Structure 1
Amino acid sequence: MPRKETWAPKSAVERLPLAVRKDLRDNWDSVKGEYEGKISAVLGKQYAINFNALEVYPYVEGTQGFVNTPLGKIFAGYAQCLADAVARFIEEYGEDGILHFNEAVSNGEFILNVNESGLEASVIGCDVKDGTYRILFRYDCLGYNQNTIYETMLSAIDTVPREGFPVEIKASIATYWDEGAEDVRQAIGEILAMPDVVIDPNFEENYAAMKGGNPDSVNWKEKFAKVALEYFNGGIKVQLERQGFKDDDLLQEGLAEALTSKTFKLRVVENMRKSGIHETFIEEGVCYIQTTVENWEHNLPYVGEGLVNLL
């Protein structure tokens, strides 16, 4: 049998060659403060970039294509792409992004490490460990794919435990729910002659359920509020129209008698009352729309089907 390939991290060197020290002075130390300043200005907090040349230098020789590339320029490349990624992150997520980033990276420090996953590591990645943001390179890919740092930044920040919603969920709510929910609510109210109708996305409970389950979609957080809104817009609203509630006094009165809370509430549950993708029922004056984590995005145009039969 072929021998299984193994990997172990390299030990740091005690001293760098003179040529490397000169290169670091000329190409890294001379620009380090500039990148620290850009990042600190965007985040409103002092940040330091502490790349340890003694630890990183041993990986230069084993990186194909970068053997002759000065380490100082490699460091500067990481720093420039890091600064660009932070600026893009804050442009995308605004004040919430600043808040979450600063809370997660509590040490105000960026470092560059070899990825401990060794042979299984991706070319480049990021994480936050003990309050320090780490750029992680594969042991044989030092300097590669620096311009993709942003791609793992959100997951690095959102993986850090904190109270409340992660930044991606907040962004989804602001983008989809806050922008569109009132129009949908008013439209449903007009159909039912119930101007003060309430549509309750139940975000906190539903996020907890989704987080604890196994959603089919890998980007469910990004679409979280969009899908929630569609339960009411493409589901309940469309079904109320199809079932003839608009301009039908009898149906409107019948629903008003049952829907004493005037509330439609979305709920993700572990087990539904009946088999199916989702179900709608009225209980204690609330119209519940229920589904499971596995069926979160499925068959939304049929949400509320048969509602008239509940009256």
Structure 2
Amino acid sequence: MPHLPPAQNLSLAVQKNIWEDWENNKANLQAELSNNLGTDWIIDVNPFGIYPYHNDGYVKQWLGTCIKDYFQHAVYQFKFLIKRYVNIKDEINDIAHRHILTLDVEETNPPRFAYGGCDIANGKLRILFEENHLGVNTTNCCNEDNLFRALNTASNDKPMTFYVRLGIHNDYEAKIPAVQRDLTELLNLNEGELTLSPNLEETFVNMQDAVNRGVKTFRDDWEQVFGATICRYFAAAFWQMKYMKFEEDERSREGFLAALTKREIAFRIVDSLQHDSWSECEFVDGIMYVQTTVEYFGMIEVHVPQNY
């Protein structure tokens, strides 16, 4: 959808509102945005280009207030999300690499948002409004759902998508040390003796390639739950061993360790399963692989074999 031509003139009342409510607040908002993101950012908006979308609503008189609301709410959302997700700051800075926050009309037809949202285009982070809803629901344009979708959709040169990287950081790396500690103690091994190998990039590539070929996955949101899912496979192996009373049954534990010569438990995607429906464990060259297929990634039921 082409942009409407920018306004040629604005009334004195509208210009006054722009000055009082927008220009007087822009520098502080830009400074707060830069402080939150840890590097210099620029807020860039052309009120003359926004004004033609007023649709005879309140924005026709209060354009400066409307613009301030969009940026004020965006800055608040960034501040909230940065506190919640420690690595989100780096992701925003890397993907929106020009470090410019702007306001624009949604050009996609049909629109991607009911009222407003955001995206990343040409390295800029854009707050977007639907052409008939300027000034409506300014609070949520850069909320978690919209911002994360924008970061995930934006092209970048990293090997995995934003959703996957976020899940690895928050749901795998943050939680797997406890699982590794539990497994190490259960198997009566020394600290650092047991290795857990998630094969994250290989698993992602296998999943992504299959999905691109039209393979149906158990969960449509597999990217969002990627890190948590792989962590849960290792945790499920622990609980299965605990159910098998490895702590008490020295013979079972020693038999398992005799097969686990490399002291490594790994996760991987395979083309097909041989022993179970959803997932299975297989010993190969001293490594126990917890494995599943693309179709059943996320259906977690791990059976540790008893015949080593």
TM-score band, normalised by shorter chain: 0.7 to 0.9
Q: CA deviation at 1:138?
A: 0.5
2: CA distance between counterparts of 1:163 and 1:202? 16
Q: Is the 2:85–2:170 contact (alpha carbons within 8 Å) kept by the matching residues of 1?
A: no
2: CA distance between counterparts of 1:31 and 1:125? 22
Q: CA deviation at 1:99?
A: 1.9
Q: Is the 1:46–1:108 contact (alpha carbons within 8 Å) kept by the matching residues of 2?
A: yes
SS in 1 for 2:272: coil
Q: CA deviation at 1:238?
A: 2.1
Match of 2:178 among 157, 178, 183: 183
SS in 1 for 2:70: helix
In the TM superposition, 1:237-256 aligns within 5 A as: 237-256=238-257
1: CA distance between counterparts of 2:110 and 2:179? 51
- Is residue 150 from structure 1 mapped to residue 149 from structure 2 by the alignment? no
Q: Which runs of 5+ in 1 are unaligned?
A: 1-6
1: CA distance between counterparts of 2:161 and 2:85? 11
SS in 2 for 1:134: strand
Q: Is the 1:8–1:118 contact (alpha carbons within 8 Å) kept by the matching residues of 2?
A: no
Given the superposition, is the C-alpha separation of residues 290 and 159 from structure 1 closer, same or farther in structure 2, using an over 3 Å criterion?
same
SS in 2 for 1:120: coil
Q: Which runs of 5+ in 2 are unaligned?
A: none
Q: CA deviation at 1:219?
A: 4.5
In the TM superposition, 1:131-210 aligns within 5 A as: 131-148=123-140, 149-151=142-144, 152-160=146-154, 161-164=156-159, 168-195=163-190, 196-210=193-207
Q: CA deviation at 1:81?
A: 0.5
2: CA distance between counterparts of 1:12 and 1:282? 67
In the TM superposition, 1:40-119 aligns within 5 A as: 40-61=34-55, 65-66=57-58, 68-94=60-86, 96-119=87-110
- Is residue 225 from structure 1 mapped to residue 227 from structure 2 by the alignment? yes
Q: Is the 1:97–1:167 contact (alpha carbons within 8 Å) kept by the matching residues of 2?
A: no
Q: Is the 2:59–2:134 contact (alpha carbons within 8 Å) kept by the matching residues of 1?
A: no
2: CA distance between counterparts of 1:169 and 1:155? 12
2: CA distance between counterparts of 1:172 and 1:67? 40
Runs of 4+ aligned residues of structure 1 deviating over 6 Å after TM superposition are: none
Partner of 2:268: 267
Given the superposition, is the C-alpha separation of residues 147 and 48 from structure 1 closer, same or farther in structure 2, using an over 3 Å criterion?
same
Question: Partner letter of residue 25 of structure 2?
Answer: V
Partner of 2:302: 303
Kindly, what percent of the aligned residue pairs are identical? Answer: 25
- RMSD of aligned C-alpha atoms? 2.5
2: CA distance between counterparts of 1:69 and 1:304? 67
1: CA distance between counterparts of 2:197 and 2:139? 41
1: CA distance between counterparts of 2:186 and 2:17? 71
